[in-house]
Amino acid sequence: MRLSRAMPAWARVRQWGLGLLVALFAAGAWAADWSREVLYFVLVDRFADGDPSNNRGVDRRNPGGWHGGDLKGLTAQLDELRDLGVTALWINPVQLQQARGMPAQAPGVQPFQHEGFHGYWIHDFQAMEPRFGSVDDLKRLVDAARERGIKVLLDVVYNHTGYTSRYSGRRTADGQPWIRLGEGNCEVDAVTCAVGGLPDLRVELPEVRDHVLDANIALARQAGVAGFRLDTYKHIGSDFWAEHRRRTRDQLGRDFFLLAEYWGGTAQSLDGFFERDEVDSGFDFSFKGSCEAWVQGRGRSVAFGAYLRSRHQVRTGYHLAHYLSSHDEPMMLGNLGGDRERFRLCVALQMTSLGIPVIYYGEEVARGGHDWPLNRNDMPWGSRDVLPGKGIPRDEAMRSYYKQLIAVRREHLALTRGSFTLLTGPQDPVLAFLRRDAGSGDQVLVLVNREDRPVEVDVPAGDSWGAPAARDRLAGGAVALA
């Protein structure tokens, strides 16, 4: 079998720069199982403006300011996500943000005013941010998404407030302050430190805990969301998360899904939370950097393959969520120096690996931006009349590639619940692994060549590979086996 990356970028992929082979089988029904979801993360303000009347203070020239996106705009563009193959949508927190921004600086960017457009600087947990929209707007988004087979996850914050909020100076009935300011070192005590200097909510106090729990659960019940993405999970104690699990199940149903942002999370470091059943899933922070390093030639293929195999050690019934870019890290395409071909390899590996793949809005059309704050720039809409990203170029070929791989993932149980067998030898330049679902017999062979030259590779063929014939799921057609 000949794998080549020695031609122009797209031609290289078609000529086995990246290959997927599968044994043909009749795909079963699409199960309501989070292991089979494809999650899409949107910063609402950066996506689509559907209601210009709520654009108070919008300044699209400010990389840290409000740009006008809202829940109505996102609702109007849901068919864009459905067509891509997205089955779950994660949106940032939508509660009322602090009134004033903060002066900010970043390398290579003129000093700017940083506003709460991202949703994480909450002023009042019991009120909606009008620039995002109303509770009814949120419910309409959830209902419209459900009609398209898309679940909605709402991002929630329990650890902190905005730098200025209605909770500043507030005290409990027995005189204890609701928040601690500027205390602690997060490397020493992750729970009592003030993350990013933000006022730290003392959720160990029953009055504070009840306020934030009641506010977020009430909003979830009103809107009908399918679950929460839990911000700054590391910075709150397990006793709180145990109570959170109990209340969400009691008040929102046993199927209410919880995805934890535990910074630095891996299959191993998340296992304690899974063992205690605090959450259903956690972000795998190791996938992005591992894939970046491998496609750039750092490390042996067998070592990267062993890493992918180790991700299958996740506790049964729980899930890893793996991403290529996020709002808190430099974007992968920027880290790769704009090399879209190598980026495509990581997209393919994301879609053929165990866990819930997370797409950061606009990645699928090669959205520009790299370091903060430009990793939070506007969704590109090209010639479409959609603000704030109207006129920003988009790579439709990249989107088609995402769409194709998502379709392959959704069609093959092997890619979502199958075992992992590493076929790469100690000195092989090409990564080769087999995913197989024992129940259905579905098999997917994944072959990825990171070299700038054609490579021949031998992999052991299973007894069942000849019937039915293996198919190339990227280029199409049957594959002759020797």
Give pLDDT, residue 54: 98
Can the peptide bond before residue 388 be classed as cis, meaning omega within 30 degrees of 0? yes
Number of C-beta neighbours around residue 169 at 10 A: 8
From the list 408, 332, 377, the residue with the least C-alpha distance to 85 is: 408
- According to DSSP, residue 177 is labeled B
The torsion defined by the Cα of 450, 435, 314 and 329, in degrees rounded to 10, comes to: 30
Q: Which domains does the chain have, with CATH numbers?
A: 1-27+418-482 (no CATH), 31-411 (3.20.20.80)
Taking a C-beta distance cutoff of 8 angstroms, is the pair 430, 448 a contact? yes
Q: Sign (positive/negative) of CA torsion 319, 263, 278, 230?
A: negative
Give pLDDT, residue 482: 73
Q: pLDDT tens digits, the chain, 482 residues: what are they?
A: 444 333 333 333 333 444 343 333 333 332 347 999 999 999 999 999 999 999 999 999 999 999 999 999 999 999 999 999 999 999 999 999 999 999 999 999 999 999 999 999 999 999 999 999 999 999 999 999 999 999 999 999 999 999 999 999 999 999 999 999 887 789 889 999 999 999 999 999 999 999 999 999 999 999 999 999 999 999 999 999 999 999 999 999 999 999 999 999 999 999 999 999 999 999 999 999 999 999 999 999 999 999 999 999 999 999 999 999 999 999 999 999 999 999 999 999 999 999 999 999 999 999 999 999 999 999 999 999 999 999 999 999 999 999 999 999 999 999 999 999 999 999 889 999 999 999 999 999 999 999 999 888 888 877 777 667 788 999 888 887 77
The pTM assigned to this predicted structure is 0.93
Number of C-beta neighbours around residue 467 at 10 A: 9
Give pLDDT, residue 33: 72
**What radius of gyration, in Å, describes the C-alpha atoms of the chain?**
23
Taking a C-beta distance cutoff of 8 angstroms, is the pair 354, 88 a contact? no
